[in-house]
Structure 1
Amino acid sequence: MPFKKYLLTGLMVWLPLAITIWVLLWLVGALDAVFGGLLSVINSVAPVAITVWSEKLRNIPGLGVVLVVSVMLVTGALVSNVAGRWWIRQWDRLFTNIPIVKSIYNSVKKVSDTLFSSNGNAFRTALLVQYPRAGSWTIAFQTGVPGGEVQNHLGADFVSVYVPTTPNPTSGFFLMLPRSDVIELQMSVDEALTYVISMGSVAPSLPAATLQKPKP
């Protein structure tokens, strides 16, 4: 039926754009809310003249995003030299000496250092693993290798993997599997995530080497 066909085709064109805009608007709103909270704190202790200016800033949409990105860039530039790294060490020493706070801070710092380090291997390799049972395959991402006491029990030939759920890959399962039980894929992490989020409906293209491989 042409009506149904045209409707679905139009939906496929506009849905990705609509979701992208919605996510961006949510992000801008969240950062503006954080900036608005900061202005509220300033207003409670600042003179009247500063309060008037802060209220004007509050009404500028997207200013929170600009300020957050600017702070990130300036911070990154400052800590890239010796003096900046010294201040970071003092900052870490301060938070690691506060009860309760140090547990949260250390955990988050270790995870962020692992995920965003340019030398790390977390989430840089897509894998094919059998889950939740043998014979049932799904996409996973290598997050590293077991360490410490866990490595002593399992041995060295294991890998740590994250199995995302679909269509929401931000939740999932952490598994430690023998290296022989996982298949390393040539697809990029972006392609693998797209495959997971689309519930398998958007399959990545085959690598060029595979396409050019002659048939026996």
Structure 2
Amino acid sequence: MLITHICNLIKQFLSGFFSFLWSLFLNGLLTILPLIATIGFFHLSLKLLKNWLEPIRQWKPKAIEQFPLIEKVITFLFENIPYFEIIVAFIIILIVGIIVRVVLLKTIISGIEALLLKLPLIRPVYSGIKQLTAALDPQNELVFQKVVLFEFPRHGAYSIGFLTGEVPIGLAPNNTEKFFSVYVPTTPNPTSGFYIIMAEKDLTITNLTRQEATTIIISGGIIQPERFNSKNLSQNS
């Protein structure tokens, strides 16, 4: 009996000990896994971007051959600075942005956009991406003025929407209260959604930015800002 009792105690001790070790392992894994996943994601993204931009490393204009010193400097930078082609691509994009803003290149781009919008297969994709980037543009104050919360598609279920403006009297269901136009994007593609006319009393304005709200919608609520305060719409409109 004594031996059996001792064996049971040893089993209980080992069981508790291994359970304790397993819980410590899980705690460590859950702590370090997001960090490893984040580092792995950025490492993979940089690697894919580096491979995609590899032609920049091989590209050498003939004009540079006339300046051996400049050619040596460029070769040195590519060979000794990691991901230098990404830096070059960033600088090129920055220069293009400056040219677009300063020079009349917008006219050419508008012509290309008009051509793309005439192509049946490309038009819906390009148009959707264009609308999304316009909505996320921090300089665009006319699109998606505020992020609101309201009951949709049924009572007790809430959706995130973008307030796009006040509904004109001629379009409002009645003249006794204010109505607002709300765009309700879908997950995971926010370029498609619903246009809804809502009464002011049914809307709750949040302090979410357009970028934060779009991130929540695209991720299906997985990625959320830590803060989420709401106020009465009439106090902020």
RMSD: 4.7
Indicate the SS of the match to 1:22: helix
Contact 1:143–1:162 (CA under 8 A) maintained in structure 2: no
Indicate the SS of the match to 1:133: coil
Output one character per residue of 1:22-49: Cα deviation in whole Å (capped at 9) or x when no partner: 3312321332232236778x69xx9xx9
Contact 1:28–1:64 (CA under 8 A) maintained in structure 2: no
Output one character per residue of 1:86-140: Cα deviation in whole Å (capped at 9) or x when no partner: 12212322442465288355554444233225123656744323344321224x2
Indicate the SS of the match to 1:18: helix
Distance across 2 between alignment mates of 1:123 and 1:76: 24
Contact 1:31–1:68 (CA under 8 A) maintained in structure 2: no
**Structure 1 residue 178 corresponds to structure 2 residue 197:** yes
Distance across 2 between alignment mates of 1:7 and 1:197: 25
Give the deviation of 1:186 after TM superposition.
Answer: 2.8
* Residue 92 of structure 2: aligned partner: 71
Contact 1:96–1:106 (CA under 8 A) maintained in structure 2: no
Distance across 1 between alignment mates of 2:173 and 2:149: 21
Q: Tell me, which stretches of 5 or more residues in structure 1 are unaligned?
A: 165-169, 210-216
Distance across 1 between alignment mates of 2:85 and 2:24: 40
What is the identity, as a one-letter code, of the residue corresponding to 2:162?
Q
Normalised by the length of structure 2, the TM-score is 0.54
Distance across 2 between alignment mates of 1:119 and 1:143: 14
* Residue 33 of structure 1: aligned partner: 51
Indicate the SS of the match to 2:53: helix
Distance across 1 between alignment mates of 2:166 and 2:57: 45
Indicate the SS of the match to 2:108: helix
**Aligned residue pairs, count:** 185
What is the identity, as a one-letter code, of the residue corresponding to 2:87?
V
Normalised by the length of structure 1, the TM-score is 0.58
* Residue 89 of structure 1: aligned partner: 107
